[in-house]
Amino acid sequence: MFIASSLGLLLFASNAIAREPSTLQKKLLPQTFEVGNSSHSLDVSSCPGYTLNGLRETTAGITAQLSLAGSACNAFGQDIANLTIDVLYETTSRLHVKIYDTANEQFTIPESVIERPAAPTTSLQNSSDLVFNYDSSPFAFWITRRSEPDATPLFDTRISSLPPTPIPAVNASDSSTGFDGFPLVFEDQYLQISSALPLGTNIYGLGEVVASSGFRRDVGTDGGAGSVQTWWARDVADPIDANMYGSHPIYLDHRYNTTTNTSKTHGVFLFTSAGADVLLATPSSSNVSLIEYRLLGGILDFYFLSGPTPQTVIEQYGEIVGLPTWQPMWGFGFHLCRWGYHTVNDTREAVTRMREAGIPLEVMWNDIDLYLAYRDFTSDPVSFPGEEMRAFIQELAANNQHYIPIVDAAVAHQVNATDVYDPYTRGVELDTFIKNPDGSEYIGQVWPGYTAFPDWFANNTQQWWTEALRNWSEGGVEFSGIWLDMNEASSFCEGSCGSSANLTNTSTPFLLPGAPGNPVTGYPECYNDTISGPSGNLTTNGTSTFSYGSEGTSALVMRGLGAANETGVNLNTPPYAIHNGAGPLSYNTIASNATHAPGYVELDVHNMWGMMEEKATHLALLDILPGKRPFLISRSTFPSSGKWSGHWLGDNFSKWQYMYFSIQGVLQFQIYQIPMVGADTCGFNDNTDEELCNRWMQLSAFTPFYRNHNTLGAISQEPYVWESVANASRTAMAVRYSMLPYWYTLFANSSTYGSPAVRALFYEFPDEPELFAVDRQFLIGRDILVTPVLTPNVSTVDGVFPGRGQVTWRDWYTHEAVNATSGANTTLDAPLGHINVHIRDGAALLLHAEPAYTIEETRQGPYELLISVATDGSAFGTAYIDDGVSSPPGPNTTVTFSVSSGKLDIKSEGAYEVGSKVTNVTVLGVQEPKEVTVQGQSVASEQWQYTAGLERLVVNGLSLSLNEAAVVTWN
């Protein structure tokens, strides 16, 4: 969670989202940071670039040397004269281009942190989908498709392809938004490379970001101002158009050919943990757009992915960073949390009230209220006694429910010699904490006061972390999974607090939300609290609470191991100032000159801290809960995080705007191979209200991670608080739980192939340009279209139905076919409490016929089949089934459903014994049959019904086993 350092900052953060920025500076670059460093020119226009020489072929591609082509410019650091370039054709769809200092002294991400694919043993150069082209002097390269050698390159660093420079700063007050030139720059503290893009091309990714432009990034055309994406992880409450918790240097480029009316997608991944700015821009009157990378160190390590569809690009990215972890089935249930369950009895009461209201609850969580003095791996002996926690958690387990506690990134420092806190003292004993450059312990400040931070590079940290988690569980907090928060990592000091800090001061340097002097006063847009005060109700005494308008130069020293003690290297304020929304790099986090084993500096590894904690925690849970799949949700993420964890979208706001933003967030993280993702439903910061919570509980029921969570001091927002929200939640959850076999199969595909579980509409319909910017709707897999209400005080919603009239979409609830406008919006009824869900034709879905209170109870009930045939009478679907918890996954069965010419074929393959039977089959889009048969035997007429207006056939009273083949016909 994020807390600003004063009431004023809290109010600013709350109100800022209501203002629409009018300039690039306000919209994208919230602060300008001046750098007074006379030893560097701060201008790349005189940088000479490089010359290629010494080219030779290798087994997998080519290698060559790059030499500085003139006098060093030393723009933001010291130019490195000798570079090496390796070009590897790793697969037929993946090309790896790596440019690095020949001396190998610049920081590179160790294989021990993120394992990379093995190099090929045979040459793929002549069979690859991609081709590496180059000019020797000045060195430049461009990537093309083998099938389209004359088409616009996929990536093109030639200066002749880029707009002429200098290009004036888009904002006069910030010269860094201009472009002095486009040479290749490779310095110890600054790397720059640029590529031309087709004018106004469709770019997705480059997060994590809450982008005002939507899921499709603003490249500076169609009235846009362009984008500056900064990669520097920080603890901040979901800012718009600024850096936040995670860094993901990959983008999808989806290009539409207006001549052929077809599209192709490719991907570009820059494998770096460096702090960076990435600029997307289109200069005035330019016939091309561009992307420019500006890094604070490291190397240029590019992977190009040929696609040619959005889904295949995402899958190819998964082959590099690792496929998503297998999720336990119970993780797909509804989760409940808040900062403000002050005791175990408060927590238990919420569980009881959920059951009394008949609202399914799968997992109960606790925030930092759980802790003794806000210390990790503790439970307060008065409010959360260990044995009472054990009893409570075992009550949950007896009811097929689960429990997840929070773990913050920082570990409390021992206050004095008599202070007993084993996680700290054991960490000192095993030497697991980050150091200052002089070797002393690095001191930060977080919730428990002064803190130490785990060093994930240290030899003993995994052992220590596993011990701490195991001891916690054995002490009563018998968790099923872990919530990792504050892991950017967050600290309330600006950099190091200093070794002379007063360790006995354990207070936070600001007022907590809801404390005297810091009330939680914000409400959703258009909620009028002067009518209803803090109730959040839709109406008070018959008066609506809705109201419009209620919101408003030295010797060259390359940066490698031990860089913290090197001279001539500026770790804390590098000459190029990335546009970190917090200002100085060390503000509100670990100082950038802090050191890790075996000599890495925080500046180089900062963006990986959260991912490395996720990896350590995942491995610890495998040890503590052997044979069970770890369930983790984390805030800070990095490439490969999905291999270890899921993600929630951070400390959002109880605003309609943020409910809309949650969709782009879910779509972004599908690209990043972190499919288990969702928002704090109903909003975290500020107060929600009845209408917003009603709509949001329904929307989130159709996202992978489904949790309601809010801040300390805000009004309660559990789904039982308002009856209309309770009703809407029950309805949406029943649909979600019935769809669990479909969700589970999608995630099995994610963990096996890297396929995205949630998809933008254009993923499935890539040749329909009207879909390229759609992010107010989304698809679950290929077959389910969700169209939520995202604005207050309405009873209809507009949505586009893909397929341009060639696809039939049927209503989930009524099974009626939609009379959709081709290629444009169709208005749908959407009264409060109803979310529009539609089924694509050609779908065959295995569903739970009787959604129950928990997932385990639901799984014990019967199945049903829902089939929506296409115009040619066909449909297809699969279902992956296993025990839902084993790690690694054990025996499993895949069931295939194929429909053609009035015949359903069910085929089963695998060793898992499926206990539940299919009791009914619903087929949509068929004519009334004269006869229905099952396994060749005629079905009695009273066992099937046909509804002509819906073209619907329902066959009841079946008992079909999914362990063997079956045939159902209608003719």
Q: Which residue has the tokens 């790059």?
A: 66
Q: For residue 598, count other CB atoms closer than 10 A to its CB.
A: 11
Q: Nearest-CA neighbor of 674 among 245, 222, 297?
A: 245
* SS3 (DSSP) at 336: strand
**Token digits of residue 227:** 């984008």
Phi-psi region of 603 (alpha: psi -120 to 50; beta: other; left: phi over 0): alpha
Q: Nearest-CA neighbor of 720 among 352, 351, 346, 354?
A: 354
Element (H, E) at 661: helix 656-671
Of the residues 79, 301, 369, 485, only one is catalytic, namely 485
Of the residues 174, 319, 525, 651, only one is catalytic, namely 651
CA–CA distance, 740 with 738 (Å, rounded to integer): 6
Buried b (16+ CB within 10 A) or exposed e, 196-231: bbbeebbbbbbbbbbbbbbbbbbbbeeebbbbbbbb
Distance set, CA 385 to CA 100, 377, 904 (Å): 55, 13, 56
Concerning whether 651 is annotated as a catalytic residue, the answer is: yes
Q: Is 553 within 8 Å of 564 (Cβ atoms)?
A: no
DSSP code string of 204-264: EE--S-B-TT-SB---S-TT---EEEEE-----S--BSS--S----EEEEEEEETTTTEEE
Concerning whether 488 is annotated as a catalytic residue, the answer is: yes
* SS3 (DSSP) at 287: coil
Q: Which residue has the tokens 């420079």?
A: 165
Distance set, CA 908 to CA 536, 832, 880, 912 (Å): 51, 41, 10, 10
Beta-strand pair 646-648/632-634:
parallel
CA–CA distance, 647 with 705 (Å, rounded to integer): 8
Q: Distance of alpha carbon 868 from its chain centroid, rounded?
A: 31
Concerning whether 441 is annotated as a catalytic residue, the answer is: no
Q: Distance of alpha carbon 270 from its chain centroid, rounded?
A: 18
**Token digits of residue 820:** 């959709």
Q: Is 787 within 8 Å of 750 (Cβ atoms)?
A: no
Of the residues 253, 362, 367, 488, only one is catalytic, namely 488
CA–CA distance, 778 with 637 (Å, rounded to integer): 23
Q: Is 750 within 8 Å of 675 (Cβ atoms)?
A: yes
Q: What are phi and psi of 56, to 5 degrees?
A: -145, 155
CA–CA distance, 184 with 238 (Å, rounded to integer): 34
DSSP code string of 295-314: ESSS-EEEEEE--SSHHHHH
Beta-strand pair 937-938/932-934:
antiparallel
Q: Which residue has the tokens 């461009």?
A: 142
Q: Is 492 within 8 Å of 446 (Cβ atoms)?
A: yes
Q: What is the CA radius of gyration of the chain?
A: 28
Q: Nearest-CA neighbor of 649 among 689, 731, 705?
A: 705
Buried b (16+ CB within 10 A) or exposed e, 627-657: eebbbbbbbbbbbbbbbbbbbbbbbbbbbbb
> Residue 223 contacts by C-beta under 8 Å, 6 or more apart in sequence?
none
Q: End-to-end CA distance of the chain, in Å?
A: 59
Per DSSP, the chain holds a count of helices (H) and strands (E) of 16, 52
Q: Which residues are catalytic?
A: 485, 488, 651
